């Protein structure tokens, strides 16, 4: 791997030997690209410049493992910092064709998940509109609708919801109505007739019309 420091002449004027010190200009504090760097990248930059002073024209030729060892950091930390520095124009990185190492790419944050993996995960999840909470059904609700669909058919969702509303949202009362409908020859028609009447209509409680079903 070869790392070249851009604008090296601003940091080092001894181009043909390894000096005991390098220049660091105060104007760096007002540099926008410098301000955009991650904190770890800012800490690593002067170390890169110091190493560059050991090489001709500030070009460092070294393996990632050796560079990480020289700087006393992990290869992962090195990759993240070099990517950040290259992204904002402080260095350029080149790798030879035989290198199997990850190149310096303009991304300061290590990738944790590919786009295909994210897409796959999203496709497995049920879509919910923003802000909508997932409500867990209680056992009474589950039992009511299970009983209702079994008795009235798979398309009886609307009828079951109306029957529940007619009983004030009380699943136990609505279930009792289903149990009564189950005793009739035509339970669907019976529930339909119940819905067309009033919730407290005495003719239903008296069972006057039961013979019709």
Residues 68 and 143 in one domain: no
pTM: 0.43
Residue 104 lies in a domain: no
Residue 101 lies in a domain: no
pLDDT at position 208, please? 42
Residue 124 lies in a domain: no
Residue 66 lies in a domain: yes
Q: What is the pLDDT of residues 130-153, one digit of tens each?
A: 555 556 667 888 888 888 888 898
Q: What is the DSSP string of the chain?
A: -EEEETTGGGT----SS--S-----GGGGG-HHHHHS-HHHHHHHHHHHHHHTTSGGGEEE--HHHHHHHHTS-HHHHHHHHHHHHHTTSEEEE--TT--SPP--S-SS---S-HHHHHHHHHHSPP--TTPPPPPPPHHHHHHHHHHHHHH-TT-HHHHHHHHHHTTT-HHHHHHHHHHHTTSS-HHHHHHHHHHS-TT-HHHHTTTTGGG-
Number of separate domains in the chain: 2
CA gap 81, 73 in Å, rounded: 11
Q: Cβ distance 144 to 151 under 8 Å? A: no
Residue 67 lies in a domain: yes
Higher pLDDT, 20 or 154: 154
Average model confidence (pLDDT) across the chain:
76
Q: Which residue, 94, 128, 162, sits at the end of a domain?
A: 94
Provide the pLDDT confidence category of residue 76 given band limits of 50, 70 and 90. Answer: very high
Residue 173 lies in a domain: yes
Residues 7 and 88 in one domain: yes
Provide the pLDDT confidence category of residue 13 given band limits of 50, 70 and 90. Answer: low
Q: Residue 128: pLDDT above 80?
A: no
Residue ranges making up the domain that contains 87 = 2-94
Q: What percent of the chain has pLDDT over 90?
A: 11
Residues 152 and 70 in one domain: no
pLDDT at position 132, please? 52
Q: Cβ distance 151 to 186 under 8 Å? A: no
Q: Cβ distance 57 to 13 under 8 Å? A: no
Residue 28 lies in a domain: yes
pLDDT at position 202, please? 47
Provide the pLDDT confidence category of residue 196 given band limits of 50, 70 and 90. Answer: confident
Which structure tokens are listed for 69? Answer: 């060892």
Residue 47 lies in a domain: yes
């Amino acid at each position: 791997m070869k790392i070249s420091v851009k604008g090296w002449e601003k940091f080092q004027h001894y181009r043909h030997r390894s000096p005991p010190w390098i220049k660091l200009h105060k104007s760096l504090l007002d540099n926008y690209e410098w301000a955009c760097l991650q904190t770890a990248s800012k800490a690593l930059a002067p170390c890169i410049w110091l190493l560059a002073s050991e090489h001709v024209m500030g070009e460092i030729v070294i393996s990632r493992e050796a560079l990480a060892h020289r700087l006393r950091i992990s290869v992962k930390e090195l990759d993240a910092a070099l990517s950040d520095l290259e992204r904002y124009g402080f260095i350029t990185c080149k790798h030879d064709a035989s290198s199997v190492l990850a190149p310096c790419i303009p991304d300061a944050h290590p990738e944790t998940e590919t786009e295909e993996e994210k897409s796959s995960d999203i496709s497995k999840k049920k879509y919910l509109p923003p802000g909508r909470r997932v409500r867990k059904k209680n056992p009474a609700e589950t039992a009511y609708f299970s009983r209702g669909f079994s008795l009235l058919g798979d398309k009886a969702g609307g009828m079951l919801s109306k029957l529940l509303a007619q009983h004030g949202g009380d699943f136990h009362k609505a279930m009792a109505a289903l149990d009564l409908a189950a005793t009739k020859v035509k339970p669907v028609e019976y529930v339909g007739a119940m819905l067309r009447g009033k919730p407290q209509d005495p003719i239903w409680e008296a069972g006057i019309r039961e013979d019709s079903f």
